[in-house]
Amino acid sequence: MQTNFTHHQSAHCENGVASNLLKHNGLDISEPMVFGIGSGLFFVYLPFLKVNYAPAISYRPLPGQIFNKLAKRLGLKIKRQKFASEANATKALDHNLKNNIPSGLQVGVYNLSYFPDEYRFHFNAHNLVVYGKTETDYLISDPVMENVTTLTHKELDKVRFAKGAFAPRGQMYYPIQIPEQVDFKSAIVKGIKNTCRDMLAPMPIIGVRGIRFVSKQIRKWPIKNGTKKANHYLAQMVRMQEEIGTGGGGFRFIYAAFLEEASKILENKELENLSKEMTVIGDLWRDFAVEASRVYKNRSTKADVYNTIADQLLYIADQEEIFFKKLKKVIS
């Protein structure tokens, strides 16, 4: 069985699944719109949590939040289910496919056989859509892939029940109700306000302050942990930042695209200017990644290089603080 689902590639998995599922249900919404209204831009530094033996830095909110916020702000209803047993999870998915409902799944990346081996890590916040089933395979639309692909029944079971942090527990979701009239204007305003609040939050580990905190830590890494570990931390940071559309530069460009689209819908010229400013900040993030990669590539042992990139990060934090304060003013 197969549903008449159309695959569109996206930069980030959760945006992509949301946008693709909504398009399938007759609501034409772009990836940047999903990202902006769902307040996908975020920053949090969790030094006490280690991922791949390095402190965790997340450039995105918790998995599922973008779609949930988007739904709330547009007045859509999404059904989300988690399962205790693999058999029930399979049954529910098959039932959906029989009723022509392509379904979003949260999955672990490690057993996704269509990813190159280097990308297979125990990371559980990936999203994809299942749009059909054959004797042996499930038909998969993974939004970060150019084309549709497949997973065997056993492989899909495995990725749905991957273990570890953010274990998906078979999580399945799909829109069940979409109103005839959707108010994009108020949803955009709510989404932007939320992002400004997050990025300017008065908390040391979140948003602009979180970025400053990391910058401070980078200066200490080589002294406290030695260059080898410091380089590893830095490489991990760049990976979380730039891998498959998540984080630093990539996210800023999606957000800039959102602001450009929003400026047309809200008929607010100021947002278009801010879109251009966000593009500049995105380029700064990319410059940071280039500099950081030089540090761990040459395995430079001078403590000075860490100060240089820490300064760079500090500059980004300053620019973002100015930016989000402006954005907050424009929207209120």
Partner 1 sequence: MKKEEVPQDKGNLSNINMKELVYATDEKGNYTTALSTGWEPKTIALSNSIDEISERIAVAKEQVENNERSPIYYFMEVSRMDLSILSSYVGMWQWRVKRDFKPENFKGLSDKVLQKYADAFDISINELKNFKTN
Enumerate binding residues for partner 1 (CB under 8 A): 9-11, 32, 50, 52-53, 110, 116, 118-122, 144-146, 163-165, 167, 231-232, 235-236, 238-239, 242-245, 249-250, 253-254, 256-257, 260-261, 275-276, 279, 282-283, 286, 289-290, 292-293, 296-297
Cβ contact 90:63 at 8 Å: no
Considering the complex, state which of residue 27 and residue 235 has its C-beta at the smaller distance from partner 1: 235
User: Min. distance of Cβ 277 from partner 1 in angstroms?
Assistant: 12
Instruction: Say how far apart CA 171 and CA 124 lie, in whole Å.
Output: 11
User: Min. distance of Cβ 228 from partner 1 in angstroms?
Assistant: 9
Pairing label, strands 137-141, 54-58: unpaired
Considering the complex, state which of residue 73 and residue 252 has its C-beta at the smaller distance from partner 1: 252
Nearest alpha carbon to residue 103 among 153, 138, 68, 58: 138
User: Min. distance of Cβ 57 from partner 1 in angstroms?
Assistant: 13
Considering the complex, state which of residue 143 and residue 210 has its C-beta at the smaller distance from partner 1: 143
Considering the complex, state which of residue 196 and residue 257 has its C-beta at the smaller distance from partner 1: 257
User: What 3-state DSSP class applies to 48?
Assistant: strand
Instruction: Say how far apart CA 76 and CA 194 lie, in whole Å.
Output: 18
Cβ contact 324:192 at 8 Å: no
User: Min. distance of Cβ 39 from partner 1 in angstroms?
Assistant: 17
User: Min. distance of Cβ 54 from partner 1 in angstroms?
Assistant: 9
Considering the complex, state which of residue 83 and residue 174 has its C-beta at the smaller distance from partner 1: 83
Give the chain's length: 332
Instruction: Say how far apart CA 87 and CA 93 lie, in whole Å.
Output: 10
User: Min. distance of Cβ 75 from partner 1 in angstroms?
Assistant: 27
User: Min. distance of Cβ 235 from partner 1 in angstroms?
Assistant: 4
Considering the complex, state which of residue 52 and residue 150 has its C-beta at the smaller distance from partner 1: 52
Nearest alpha carbon to residue 59 among 241, 289, 312: 241
User: Min. distance of Cβ 180 from partner 1 in angstroms?
Assistant: 29
Cβ contact 188:264 at 8 Å: no
Considering the complex, state which of residue 49 and residue 62 has its C-beta at the smaller distance from partner 1: 49
Considering the complex, state which of residue 132 and residue 250 has its C-beta at the smaller distance from partner 1: 250
Nearest alpha carbon to residue 162 among 111, 85, 108: 108
Task: Give the angle 108-113-115 at the CA atoms, nearest 5°.
Answer: 80
How many CA atoms lie less than 13 Å away from 203 in the CB half-sphere?
12
Cβ contact 40:60 at 8 Å: yes
The token pair at 272 is: 């278009």
Name the β-bridge partners of 137: 152
Task: Give the angle 164-157-26 at the CA atoms, nearest 5°.
Answer: 100
